[in-house]
Amino acid sequence: MPTLVADTLGHRYGMLLLFRRLSFSLEGGASLAVTGANGAGKSTLLRILAGVLAPKAGTVTLTANGRELPADDHPLHAGLVAPALGVYDDLTARENLVFLAQARRLSEAPSRIESVLERVGLSGRAGDLVGTYSSGMRQRVKYAAALLADPPLLLLDEPAANLDAAGRELVDRVMDDQLARDRLVVVATNRADEAARHDRQLRIEDHQ
């Protein structure tokens, strides 16, 4: 069962303090909602938890398969969906995932790619250029990319952004499936109704 431990995290941009002494622990099968106003640091915290941004203070530890992951491996075991993450418009959805699979040296990549494309409802348009997609379909590509390696940790920044009702139901199913398989889910949101569905809540402003 994976675990995620944040120990006295702190981060700032220049003189702008986002948070300090932020700590929590999460075990597989549990979810955490990170809440706060726009610009409070929710997106930054998720990037730190994903292992793609180093905090100014404190540590993040992710364990999977009974071992603590080194910092270099941490991002390979985290799936991140965020507005700032882009996809390649001049590639098809399938080609985007092939590129990512090659970069991560994933085994059984072809079958895994088709599986996640079906899971996010893009099988019928997988051969079309992403540049022809609506904003909601592009968001689905990001979910496919985040799920490609079947990560123990899934991080969602404003998970329902650009999605219609069917897309929001998809996100709920993805989260429920991850938790049912004892994975970790962390969501950043400023919506109270969205935060309420998670096991725990962490308010960024309480750590400033």
Q: 42-95: per-residue pLDDT in tens?
A: 999 999 999 999 999 999 999 999 999 999 999 999 999 999 889 999 999 999
Residue 34 contacts residue 200 (beta carbons within 8 Å): no
CA distance 191 to 24: 21
Model pLDDT for residues 145-157, shown as the tens digit of each residue: 999 999 999 999 9
Query: How far apart, in Å, are the Cα atoms of 111 and each of 68, 101, 108, 148?
Result: 28, 11, 6, 10
Residue with tokens 């985290």: 78
Q: What is the pTM of this model?
A: 0.95
Residue 156 contacts residue 188 (beta carbons within 8 Å): yes
pLDDT at 135 exceeding the cut of 90: yes
**What pLDDT does residue 107 have?**
80
Query: How far apart, in Å, are the Cα atoms of 17 and each of 41, 42, 53, 119?
Result: 9, 13, 16, 39
Task: Write down all domains in the chain, each with its CATH number in brackets.
Answer: 3-207 (3.40.50.300)
